[in-house]
Amino acid sequence: MSGIRNDPGHALKSWNSSSVHVCNWSGVRCNTNRDRVVELILSGKSLRGTISPAISNLSFLAILDLSGNFFEGHIPTDLGYLFHLKQLSLSSNLLEGKVPTELGYLRQLQYLSLGSNQLTGEIPVPLLCNGSSSLEYVDLSNNSLSGLIPLSNECELRELGFLLLWSNKLVGHVPQALSNSSKLKWIDLESNFLSGELPNEVVNKMPQLQYLYLSYNNFISHDGNTNLKPLFSSLSNSSNLQELELAGNKISGELPSIIGDLSINLVQIHLDDNLIYGFIPPQISNLVNLTFLNLSSNLLIGSISTELCRLEKLERLYLSNNSLSGEIPSAFGNVPHLGLLDLSKNKLSGSIPDSFANLSQLRRLLLYENQLSGTIPPSLGKCINLEILDLSHNQLSGLIPSEVAGLESLKLYLNLSSNYLKGPIPLELSKMDMVLAIDLSSNHLSDTIPSQIGSCIALEHLNFSRNVLEGPLPISIGRLPYLKDLDVSFNQLTGEIPQSLQGSSTLKQLNFSFNNFKGNVSNKEAFSSLSIDSFLGNPGLCGSIEGMRICKKKRIYRLVIWPVVLSLFAILVLCMFGYSLALKSKFNKQCSIFTEENGETERKEELKHPRISHRELIEATGGFSSSSLIGSGRFGHVYKGVLQDSTRIAVKVLNLNDSRTTPAEISSSFNRECQVLKRTRHRNLIRIITICSKPDFKALVFPLMPNGSLENHLYPRHGLRNHGLDLVQLVSICSDVAEGMAYLHHHSPVKVVHCDLKPSNILLDEGMTALVTDFGIARLVKGGDHKNVSSTHDDSVSFSSTDGLLCGSLGYIAPEYGMGKRASTQGDVYSFGVLLLEIVTGKRPTDVLLHEGSSLHEWAKSCYPHKLEPVVQEALERCAPHNNQVYDHKAWHSVIFELIELGIICTQYNPSTRPTMSDVAQEMATLKHYLSSPSTLLIEEEEEEKACAKVSVI
């Protein structure tokens, strides 16, 4: 591998040792006689350089896997002379140039993966047609390959199960010869320039087909782009079909009733962005396992059949941008798992059904640009998981229900604009402290703008324009920390424009036009980029904005004003001084109470655990030898050991002589950890075996976790092999952590704030189940009454001996802790968000802080959403499944994107805008379930076949 220039993870360290036999080199495997190299696997090692042609000297090589690195340059043509090669994996690198024709010499090749590179040119004919039928898996996706798919009738790829050519520049028809591959399970040709009629004759002979992706090409239907029946008739023979995607082809014709004869296993149908016309056939309700249906952006007419509401497993339904008419069926309330309903841009009429209140999983409801009338049903307020509500551009009337205005779950936007709504803006709107945008424009809303709108602290966009609002503009709006756009034009607002708006550092667009504002407006700070257009129609305004009339100078009576100001200032100083004395007295009293109780509490806690002797621990750990040391922290060290009964243990020994900590801090840490471990019990929390406590020695004993900490897996030490956790494992681990933290915050006998959540404090048992550990600086919330936990975000700790200390580890500490705020459950949510971002991006938060001068949250938010694709792609490469397992690329892409979104939401600067750990746990459980669904996993039989193939190679 002489072409490698950089090995940041020291994956090839053993290669430089003359004392190590080549068969023991990292990534190398030999035959049983140890005289021939048969496997070279260096996937995911972040290696940089070129692929050396010298690899071809390994003439007995059966598996070559260099995927998931940063190799550049061309694919060596000499690889075509590895005649025993059965698996070639070079995907997810930076390789360029043409695919060598010489690879067609590999007549024993079963697995070929060159996807996600920068390859160009045409696919060589011998690559797929070389007289051999051994190929089972072909992935050339996500390159810039052009030309035809080179399959002639002489090509008989009888063993082919997977053909992945998506995201290239391929042209022409789907070759008829593909019908010879009757074992095909997965065909992905989307995002190319393929044309011709939909390949019904090809898929007709594929009974094992499970995934068919033909979206975003130039296909047409039969009979001059008018008949879809031949394709659906052919697909009815594929009894295992699970996903069908034909979006973005401009195919035309009516949806045939035979669509109801498709596989009972079908879970997703994507037919959006085409020219499909006519009615939605009621027979589609036969597809009882359907979870995703997208028919948006077509020419569909007629009413929405109640038969569609029989799809009880449906989770997402897109019917937007058609010409559907009639009323929205109330039977939608009987679809229990519906999470997204998009009926926008149609001709629907009537009222919004009350039955939507039954949809407890509904997160996004989009009904905009229809002809809906009547009032907004207050029952929508029961959709407690709703994140987006868009009812704009309809004919809705009446008041905005307080139940809807008080939907605290809204995180993205509320849009009720362009209706006939009247009455005041509800005060309950202030409960939406996580919403990013509110648009109530173009209605008949009256009365004043409530000052409580300033409680919507996550707001970035606010539009109250074109109503009949009156009174002053609240000062609190200018104090919204993230507000970017504000439009209050075309109202009857009066008074001066608040100075707080001018002082905002985030505002970019403002419109105050056509009101009755008065007073002086300067062209400084947030107003410096505004033109006169933002202030038109306010004759009482004057100032330095270009085109605005200049204000008349007023005489200032300094002799009267200054004595008054100075007197008020003196009174204020005296008040503040008195308050600080009272506060100090109260604080000292609390501290003294805790100090008096601390020693007695510790003694009581120690007595409630079975004891183990100091000598037993010395014997178990080899005298606490350095070879037994597995971790260190602020309060001590952790050693591994084995008890006399063969129990493998981890011993946390507190360092009582560390000059960096006081005896009181050590005692408090020991006491807190004992309290937490005694009073909590959950499958995702570490359990204590026993303790050992003497005046000069204190230790806690836990079961030893065989798979170490999450940090060991994310950042393996030099010389150790990276365990390579894939996305399914990582999501499962994060879900476990979220469940454990949700228990601590919401369900344990006493609410616990962990204060130091990070990868090294997450342990993995033999089944890779995650357990949260290290409660040495945890905080216990007094009382432990959970009846109202979910109703408040103010979960700050009510007592602690170390309230004055900064809680946690650098990079994971919530920003409010740096300003003296007490530990809170919201701080743990922040740490979990950092953990998510760290896992997905592969960046240590401390590294981002050191090299880029910003937090991991700020870095991720700067990429979101338009610069996020490279981050997602890198994560896909890093978290790809082991042993080149096939996975649903689009599903994994979606999950990674949602993980980043969740991480950003959890790490919002303002604690009250973050979700609770209960919300986070629910979200992680959903993602975990989604990844474990059949559409995202490798087919079981294919796994067994590949395993057999590998055994035969060895």
Q: CA angle 784-790-792, nearest 5°?
A: 90
Round to whole Å and give the CA distance between 618 and 948: 48
Question: In the chain, pLDDT over 90 holds for what percent of residues?
Answer: 51
Task: Determine which helix (DSSP H) or strand (DSSP E) holds 185, and give its type and residue range.
Answer: none
Catalytic annotation, pick one of 188, 342, 756, 795: 756
Residue 652 annotated in ligand binding: yes
Domains in the chain, start-ordered, CATH in brackets?
1-147 (3.80.10.10), 446-554 (3.80.10.10), 610-704 (3.30.200.20), 713-954 (1.10.510.10)
Distance between CA atoms of residues 515 and 509, nearest Å: 17
Residue 600: per-residue pLDDT: 39
Cβ atoms < 10 Å from Cβ of 167: 21
Q: What is the pLDDT of residue 471?
A: 96
**Residue 196 Rama label (left phi>0; alpha psi -120 to 50; beta):** left
Decide: helix, strand or coil at residue 542: strand
Whole-number pLDDT of residue 672 = 66
For 691, the token pair is 């303790």
pLDDT value at 798 more than 50: no
Give the mean pLDDT of 430-437.
87
Based on the number of CB atoms within 10 Å of its own CB, is 474 exposed (0-12), middle (13-18) or buried (19 or more)? middle
User: pTM here?
Assistant: 0.64
In this model, does residue 942 exceed pLDDT 50? Answer: no
Contact 637, 629 (CB under 8 A): yes
For 144, phi then psi, to 5°, come to: -130, 40
Instruction: State yes or no: cis peptide before 424, omega within 30 of 0.
Output: no
The residues, any chain, with a CB within 8 Å of residue 609's CB and separated by 6 or more, are: 674, 678, 688, 690, 691
Task: Please give the mean pLDDT across all residues of the chain.
Answer: 83
In eight-state DSSP terms, residue 709 is B
Average pLDDT over residues 731-758: 89
- Using the 8-state DSSP alphabet, how is residue 772 labeled? E
Per residue in 46-104, pLDDT tens? 788 999 999 999 999 999 999 988 899 999 999 999 999 999 999 988 899 999 999 99
- Which of 16-20, 623-627, 736-740 reaches the highest mean pLDDT? 736-740
Asked whether the beta carbons of 51 and 76 are under 8 A apart, the reply is yes
Measure CA 890 to chain center: 14
Tokens 């007995």 appear where?
A: 60
pLDDT confidence bin for 818, thresholds 50/70/90 = low
Give the whole-angstrom CA distance, residue 259 versus residue 531: 57
- Residue 104 CA, distance from chain mean position: 41
Spatial separation of the C-alpha atoms in residues 927 and 605, rounded to whole Å: 39
871: amino acid identity, one letter: V
Amino acid at 306: T
Torsion of CA 348, 351, 354, 357, to 10 degrees: 50
Q: What is the pLDDT of residue 553?
A: 64
When pLDDT is cut at 50, 70 and 90, the band that residue 569 belongs to is low
pLDDT tens-digit map of 111-157 = 999 998 999 999 999 999 988 889 999 999 989 999 999 998 888 89
Other CB atoms within 10 A of residue 714 CB = 19
Residues with Cβ < 8 Å from 826, sequence gap 6 or more?
A: 793, 795, 814, 816, 911, 912, 914
Could you give the CA distance from residue 250 to residue 261 in angstroms, rounded to a whole number? 24
Sequence-separated (6 or more) residues with CB below 8 Å from residue 30: 22, 23, 36, 37, 38
What pLDDT score does 374 carry?
97
Contacts of 839 (CB under 8 A, 6+ apart): 714, 730, 734, 899
pLDDT at 624 over 60: yes
> What confidence score (pLDDT) does residue 883 get?
62
Closest to 423 (Cα-Cα) out of 404, 448, 442: 448
CA 269-271-273 angle, to 5 degrees, is 145
Under DSSP, the state recorded for 533 is: G
What number of other Cβ atoms are within 10 A of residue 81's Cβ? Answer: 15
Residue with tokens 């790809």: 880
- 15 or 446: whose pLDDT is higher? 446
Classified as helix, coil or strand, 707 is coil
Counting beta carbons within 10 angstroms of the beta carbon of residue 552, is it exposed (0 to 12), middle (13 to 18) or buried (19 or more)?
exposed
Compute the CA torsion angle 271, 275, 278, 284 (nearest 10 deg).
-10
User: Which residue in the block uniquely carries the two structure tokens 């070079």?
Assistant: 90
Measured CA distances, 297 to 33, 148, 631 (Å): 63, 30, 57
Residue 828's CB is within 10 A of a number of other CB atoms, namely: 32
In this model, does residue 680 exceed pLDDT 80? no
Q: Cβ of 302: how many Cβ atoms within 10 Å?
A: 13
**Sequence-distant contacts of 354-359: CB under 8 A, at least 24 apart:** 354/330, 354/379, 355/330, 355/331, 356/332, 356/380, 356/383, 357/333, 357/381, 357/382, 357/383, 358/333, 358/334, 359/332, 359/333, 359/335, 359/383
Q: Residue 267: what pLDDT?
A: 95
The residue ranking higher by pLDDT, 107 or 677, is 107
**Distance between CA atoms of 744 and 473, rounded to whole angstroms?**
43
Tokens standing for residue 636: 């001590």
φ, ψ (nearest 5 deg) of residue 81: -100, 10
What is the per-residue pLDDT across 413-422, written as a single tens digit (0 to 9) for each? 899 999 999 9
For residue range 315-365, list pLDDT tens digits in order.
999 999 999 999 999 999 999 999 999 999 999 999 999 999 999 999 999
For residue 325, the model assigns a pLDDT of 97
Question: Which pLDDT band, with edges at 50, 70 and 90, does 513 fall under?
Answer: very high
Q: For the stretch 226-250, what's the b/e string if a residue is b when 16 or more beta carbons lie within 10 angstroms of its beta carbon?
A: ebbbbbbebbbbbebbbbbbbbbbe
Helix, strand or coil, per DSSP, at residue 163: strand
Phi/psi of residue 746, nearest 5 degrees = -125, -20
What is the predicted pLDDT for the residue at 869? Answer: 83
- In sequence order, the β-bridge partners of residue 824 are 796
| Cα end-to-end distance, the chain, whole Å | 22
Check residue 408 and give its pLDDT.
85
Residue 633 has what DSSP assignment? E
756 is catalytic: yes
Asked if 295 and 322 touch (Cβ cutoff 8 Å), the reply is yes
